[in-house]
Amino acid sequence: MRVVNVIKALNVRINRLSRGEHASVAVHLNQSTFYRHLYLTSQKDLYSCFQVCCDRDMLKIPDHQVAGHEARVGKLGPLIDDSGRFYKPLQSDKRGSEEVAFYESFSSNTEIPEHIRRFFPIFYGTKVMKASTGAEHPHIVLQDIASSRINPSVMDIKIGARTWAPESSEAYVAKCLRKDRESTSVPLGFRISGLRVYISDELGFYKPHRDAIRKAGPDDVKLLLRKFISSNPSAEMETDPDCSLASSVYGGPDGILAQLLELKAWFEDQTIYHFYACSILFMYEKGLALKGASSNAEVKLIDFAHVTEGRGVIDHNFLGGLCSLIRFLSDILKETTKFTVENGQVEPEESGLI
Amino acid sequence: MRVVNVIKALNVRINRLSRGEHASVAVHLNQSTFYRHLYLTSQKDLYSCFQVCCDRDMLKIPDHQVAGHEARVGKLGPLIDDSGRFYKPLQSDKRGSEEVAFYESFSSNTEIPEHIRRFFPIFYGTKVMKASTGAEHPHIVLQDIASSRINPSVMDIKIGARTWAPESSEAYVAKCLRKDRESTSVPLGFRISGLRVYISDELGFYKPHRDAIRKAGPDDVKLLLRKFISSNPSAEMETDPDCSLASSVYGGPDGILAQLLELKAWFEDQTIYHFYACSILFMYEKGLALKGASSNAEVKLIDFAHVTEGRGVIDHNFLGGLCSLIRFLSDILKETTKFTVENGQVEPEESGLI
C-alpha cells in the first residue's frame, strides 16, 4: 500500500503531544488501529511515522488480547500485522530466551502429533524490530491466532495449581506461591487471567477489569465461565447468566470441551514438556453463534516462558488443572444442555434434542 | 484362648528390663508378635502382662506397616487383633478428630459407588483402649487390610504434589512445602513413604531404611517401583531389577494398574472430598506369585487426617499425582511385558503372548 493512499484514508488522532516528549499516535485505518510511539515534533515526523507503519506491514496492537503485557507509550507489547503474524517482544530476562527455546524445540519435535500441534501457535522464528526511537528489540514471530476472526470472544486461563517449576529459586517460588494461593490456582487448579465477551457492534465487549479478575474466587470463576457463553454477560449484578450458547461453544464434537479432552489424552501420555504458568485460550465468534452458525470455538495454548523438560514424567500439575477445568465446563453443559461426557467423548444425550 | 495355654506356647523374650523402669516385652506366638509395655518388676507382672494381652483379643503390632507411627516403648502406635481389626490411636491434635470425621462421613455417604468403597478400609467406629500403664486413649477401629495375607509385600505411596490443604496455616504450609520440595512429591506428584518386599521365609523381607526412602529422588523411585515386583529386590547395588512379577502384579485385569485406573475414573468425577497427604497402599503376595498363582494384588487408600470438602471441585492435586503414578507403572509394564494401556483399560497386546 502506498503511503499517499494511507494518508488519504487516515483518521489521525494524537493522544498526547508536547514538545520533544515521548508521545503516542493512534492511527485508525479501516477499523484497525495501529500505533506508534515516537518523539513527535513536526508534521514531517508524523509523515515519517506513517511511512514506518506502512513499511512494517501495518503493525497494530492486537485488540483481542485479554491478559499479559500490553503495548503502550514507553512500554513494549505485542503487535500484529495484516499478514496474520503476531510479534511478541522477547522479555529481557531469561523468560524471553526460554520461550524461544521452547518454540524452537516444539516446532522441530517430530513426536508431537499433528492433532496436538494445531493447539499451538505456528512459530515463524525471531526478528529484531526497530522502534521509532531507533532502539532495536528482538521479537518472537508467531501466528496471529485471531487474524481471521471478527470480534472474537476470548478467555485466557492460566492452568495449574502451581505456576513455578520445581527448580525455581526461593524468591520466585515465594512470589508465585503467594499469587497461586491468593487466586483460584491452588483451590481450582487454574485461574482466569482475562476475558472479553462480544455483546453487539454497538455495545462492544463485556470486559471485566483486571483487578476484578485478579480477585475472583471459585464462585466468580464459575460465573465467568457461564457469562462467557451467555447472551447477557454484562449484567454485573446478574448471577444467573442464560448460558444460551453453552451447547454451541462448549458442547458438540468441535466444541471447546471436545478439544480439551483431546489435550487431556495427550497430557496423560506426554512426558516431553512441563508447562508452568502456561495459558489456555478459548475463542469463539458470538456474532456467528447468535445467528445459528458455527461458533468457530477454538482452544489454543499460549505463553511458554516457563516450560521445562518433562524428563519422563507427565505434567501432573497441568493435567490436574485441565481436568478440573473440564469438570467445570461439563457441569455447565449438564445444567444447561443435553450433552454428557462419557468415556472422554462429548455426546448428546439419547433424547436426541441436540 | 485360655491364659494357661498361651503360656505353654510362649517363647518369651524380655527386650529390656531394669527395676521399675518402663520396659518392653515382645511375645512371639505362632509366628505372630504381640507387644506390651509396662512397669515390669516381677514374674507376677509378666504373667499379668500376658493375661492383659489375651483379654484384649491378642493385640499385636502389625508387622506389615511400612510407614507412619509405630508402637514402641512409651509411644502409641497401631495394633491389630486376631479378628481382623486394626486399632489406630487418634492423633491428639485435630488430625485425629478429622480422620474420624472423614470415616464417619465416608461410611455413611450413599454417593460412593461400591466398586470405589472397596478401596477404603472398613470403619468400625472408635474405641477407648487402656494401656498397660492404665492410661486411656481413643482409637479408630478399622478393617485390618492385611489380616488374611501371609507375608504381604507392601508399598506406601503418598499421593499429590501438595500435601497441604488450601486453608492451612502459614507454618503448616511452609513445613509441608519443604518436605514436598525435598522429596519427589513436587517433581513426580507422589512420594514413596515406605515399602517391604518379601524375599523368602529364610531371608525375610527387603525393607530399605526410612532415611534412604526419605532421600529417594525420581530415579530411585523408579527403581523402587521396579524392585517391588522383582525377584531380586535386595541387591542394593543392582540397578536393573528383573521385574519378573510385573505382569502378574501391576498388569492384568485384576492387577494394580487396572485398580488405579478405576480410582482415576472416580477422581475425574468426584467433587466430595480432597485427599491431602493420603496414601495409596500396594499389597501383593510374592510367595504365591512366584509359584504361578494369583498375586492377590490390591490397592487401598489410607491416612485421612487431612481430607477436606471438595465443594464441587475435583481433587486435581490427587488426580494429577495418581496419573503420574499410573504412567510410571505403565512404563514398567511396557518395558517388561506385552501389556498396553488403551482407553483406560489394561490390555494384553495383540501378540497374545500373555
Closest residue of chain A to B318, computed from CA coordinates: A320
CB contact under 8 A, B316 and A331: no
- Residue keyed to cell 503487535: A79
Is residue B65 very low, low, confident or very high in pLDDT (cuts 50, 70, 90)?
A: confident
Q: Which of B161, B181, B344 sits opposite A316 (nearest CB)?
A: B161
Mean local confidence (pLDDT), B26-54: 44
Is residue B71 very low, low, confident or very high in pLDDT (cuts 50, 70, 90)?
A: low
Cβ A265 vs Cβ A239: under 8 Å? no
Three-class SS of B69-109: CCCECCECCCEECCCCEEEEECCCCHHHHHHHHHHHHHHHC
Alpha carbons A37 and A21: distance in angstroms, whole number: 10
| Burial bucket for residue A236 (CB in 10 Å: 0-12, 13-18, 19+) | exposed
**Is pLDDT at B4 greater than 70 in this prediction?**
no
pLDDT value for A161: 98
**Is pLDDT at B39 greater than 60 in this prediction?**
no
Three-state DSSP class for B155? Answer: strand
**pLDDT in single tens digits along all 354 residues of chain A:** 333 333 333 333 333 333 333 334 444 443 344 444 333 444 455 544 444 444 445 678 887 777 776 665 556 788 899 899 999 999 878 888 999 999 999 999 999 999 999 999 999 999 998 776 778 889 999 999 998 899 999 999 999 999 999 999 999 999 999 999 999 999 999 999 999 999 999 999 999 999 999 999 999 999 999 999 998 887 765 667 999 999 999 999 999 999 999 999 999 999 999 999 999 999 999 999 999 899 999 999 999 999 999 999 999 999 999 999 999 999 999 998 766 666 667 776 654 333
pLDDT value for B32: 41
Closest residue of chain A to B180, computed from CA coordinates: A166
| Burial bucket for residue A128 (CB in 10 Å: 0-12, 13-18, 19+) | exposed
pLDDT value for A165: 96
Percent residues over pLDDT 90 in chain B: 63
Alpha carbons A272 and A222: distance in angstroms, whole number: 32
Q: Which fold has domain A152-341?
A: D-amino Acid Aminotransferase; Chain A, domain 1 (3.30.470)
Convert the pLDDT of each residue in B88-117 to its tens digit. Answer: 999 878 888 999 999 999 999 999 999 999
Alpha carbons B31 and A80: distance in angstroms, whole number: 77
CB contact under 8 A, B313 and A161: no
Q: Is the ipTM of this complex over 0.90?
A: no
With CA atoms as reference, report the closest residue to B224 among B278, B156, B280: B156
What are the residue ranges of helices labelled H in chain B?
Answer: 3-9, 43-55, 94-108, 114-117, 170-182, 185-188, 210-214, 218-227, 246-249, 256-267, 286-290, 316-336
The distance of A110 to chain B (nearest Cα, Å) reads 21
Q: Which of B314, B323, B324 sits opposite A327 (nearest CB)?
A: B314
Convert the pLDDT of each residue in A173-215 to its tens digit. Answer: 999 999 999 999 999 999 999 999 999 999 999 999 999 999 9
Which grid cell is A148? 481471521
Convert the pLDDT of each residue in B226-270 to its tens digit. Answer: 999 998 887 765 677 999 999 999 999 999 999 999 999 999 999
- Residue keyed to cell 487454574: A190
Alpha carbons A301 and A142: distance in angstroms, whole number: 12
The distance of B150 to chain A (nearest Cα, Å) reads 34
Domain assignments of chain A as residue spans, ordered by start: 53-148, 152-341
Closest residue of chain A to B331, computed from CA coordinates: A312
Closest residue of chain B to A188, computed from CA coordinates: B313
Q: Report chain A residues touching chain B, CB-CB < 8 A.
A: 161-162, 166, 177, 181, 186-189, 218, 268-269, 271, 311-314, 316-317, 319-321, 323-324, 327, 331, 343-344
Q: Please give the interface size between A and B, counted as residue pairs whose CB atoms are below 8 Å apart.
A: 76
**Is pLDDT at B141 greater than 50 in this prediction?**
yes
